[in-house]
Amino acid sequence: MTGTPVTGDVTESAGGRGAEVRPAPVPAAAPSSRSDASGSDSGIGSGIGSGSDDVIRTRGLTKRFRGGQLAVDGLDLSVPRGSVFGFLGPNGSGKTTTIRMLMGLIAPTSGVATVLGESMPQSVATVLPRVGALIEGPALYGFLSGRDNLARFDAADPTADPRTRRRRVEEALERVGLTAAAGKKARAYSLGMKQRLGLASALLQPRELLVLDEPTNGLDPQGMREIRTLVREVAAEGTTVFLSSHLLDEIEHVCTHAAVMSRGRLVVQGTVAELAARAQGRLVVRTPDVARAAEVLAAHRVADVVRGEDRVDGELAEAGEASLPKLCAALVEAGVRVHGFGLERGTLEDAFVALTGEGFDVAG
């Protein structure tokens, strides 16, 4: 529970998992045999794998829990400076465990991680003051007002000047739209308000890196939009944002880069545009002559032809995009009235399914 990087107290959990004490810094992890400074095979994007200006970098990062559960398995992650980096995966794929290792809350079983150029968890004391983190919901005192909770977070930060505390707190409240509700006790806050207060605590100081674990979990659409807008604003000011989510559309709308996790392993990472481009788009023909168009496409080895009301779509054969002019000509020659013709861009979900052979089973 880390609404702020510097608390060491037992606090009430807004996420309902009860009180938790921030663990002391843990001993150095042994480098993994899988560590590889040359970068990950799965890095396909510009800036991925180069390592020179990565805000977060892991090599062979692995966590096996005492019960034997392998939660994170040989993770090679490269988060470029200035990115809004989406850490995407279904529930249970290892996102939170990774974030907890990155923030020095738990020790890896093997492998290495650097955050802002310093090894974690060894450098936790120098790294965390440069990081705003919101993990598993904000840690709040329910009997204190929102404003007083923020003041407490600020007071727990040894680098924060007490003389300017009031101004920082008011600015952070304003920023997340909680000024009007700042005097209410935190226990009376809705989940969305608690989440915004947690974000405010992470934004009390300018940070080089903001780490948010499922920041929109449990929020209504309006709350989600507000948090996403805030993330974009923070990123525009130059803060790198690392954001975990099980929501594909969240990553597509907010992030510049993404890594996809499945069962503790990294499936792929790169820019969002590159990842989506990996998914083969479908050919879409808009026409009132649906039956005829479907026949022509099938005759030209377009697979999985699906008829809609005024459209037909299908998968291009091996020839891919090169076959488009011939297909279009064939439709016209067959008397099909072509009102629209083109490839529909693949989505991240298509990419995930193509890469893993699994559906992206999300709770929404």
Ligand X SMILES: Nc1ncnc2c1ncn2[C@@H]1O[C@H](COP(=O)(O)OP(=O)(O)OP(=O)(O)O)[C@@H](O)[C@H]1O
Rounded CA-CA distance 64/266 in Å is 16
Residues 286-315 that bind ligand X (CB under 6 A): none
Pair 61, 112: CB distance under 8 Å: yes
> What is the biggest distance separating any 2 CA atoms in the chain, rounded to whole angstroms?
79
- Report the nearest approach of ligand X to the CB of residue 147 (Å): 30
- Report the nearest approach of ligand X to the CB of residue 86 (Å): 13
Candidates 3-11, 90-98, 324-332, 337-345: pick the segment binding ligand X (CB under 6 A).
Answer: 90-98
Q: Is 97 in the site for ligand X (CB under 6 A)?
A: yes
Nearer to ligand X, 22 or 95 (CB): 95
Rounded to the nearest 5 percent, the helix, strand and coil shares of the chain are 30, 25, 45
Rounded CA-CA distance 244/227 in Å is 13
Among 15, 80, 94, 346, binds ligand X (CB under 6 A): 94
- Report the nearest approach of ligand X to the CB of residue 96 (Å): 3
- Report the nearest approach of ligand X to the CB of residue 296 (Å): 45
Nearer to ligand X, 65 or 143 (CB): 65
Q: Is 93 in the site for ligand X (CB under 6 A)?
A: yes
Candidates 93-101, 194-202, 222-230, 295-303: pick the segment binding ligand X (CB under 6 A).
Answer: 93-101
Closest CA to 141 of 105, 83, 186: 186
Rounded CA-CA distance 225/187 in Å is 23
- Report the nearest approach of ligand X to the CB of residue 160 (Å): 30
Pair 330, 300: CB distance under 8 Å: yes
CA contacts within 13 A on the Cβ side of 183 = 1
Residues 238-297 that bind ligand X (CB under 6 A): 246
Candidates 94-102, 123-131, 284-292, 340-348: pick the segment binding ligand X (CB under 6 A).
Answer: 94-102
Q: What DSSP letter does each residue of 25-86 carry, written as one string?
A: PPPPPPPPTT--TT--TTB-STTTTT-TTEEEEEEEEEEE-TTS-EEEEEE--EEETT-EEE
Nearer to ligand X, 87 or 153 (CB): 87
| Both tokens assigned to 290 | 């649906």
Among 23, 39, 51, 92, binds ligand X (CB under 6 A): 92
Among 57, 59, 95, 282, binds ligand X (CB under 6 A): 95
Nearer to ligand X, 23 or 129 (CB): 23
170-204 as b/e, with b when 16 or more CB fall inside 10 Å?
A: eebbebbebeebbeeebeebebbbbbbbbbbbbbb
- Report the nearest approach of ligand X to the CB of residue 217 (Å): 8
Total residue count of the chain as it appears in this document? 364
Among 7, 13, 96, 239, binds ligand X (CB under 6 A): 96
Nearer to ligand X, 237 or 361 (CB): 361
23 DSSP 8-state letter: P
CB-neighbour burial class of residue 159 (10 A; exposed 0-12, middle 13-18, buried 19+): exposed
Among 46, 91, 126, 229, binds ligand X (CB under 6 A): 91
- Report the nearest approach of ligand X to the CB of residue 114 (Å): 20
- Report the nearest approach of ligand X to the CB of residue 213 (Å): 7
Residues 30-69 that bind ligand X (CB under 6 A): 65, 67, 69
User: Binders of ligand X: how many residues, by CB under 6 A?
Assistant: 13
Residues 194-213 that bind ligand X (CB under 6 A): none
What track of x and - describes contact with ligand X for positions 65 through 84 (by CB under 6 A)? x-x-x-x-------------
Residues 6+ apart with CB under 8 A from 319: none
Q: Is 358 in the site for ligand X (CB under 6 A)?
A: no
| Residues at the interface with ligand X (CB under 6 A) | 65, 67, 69, 71, 89, 91-97, 246
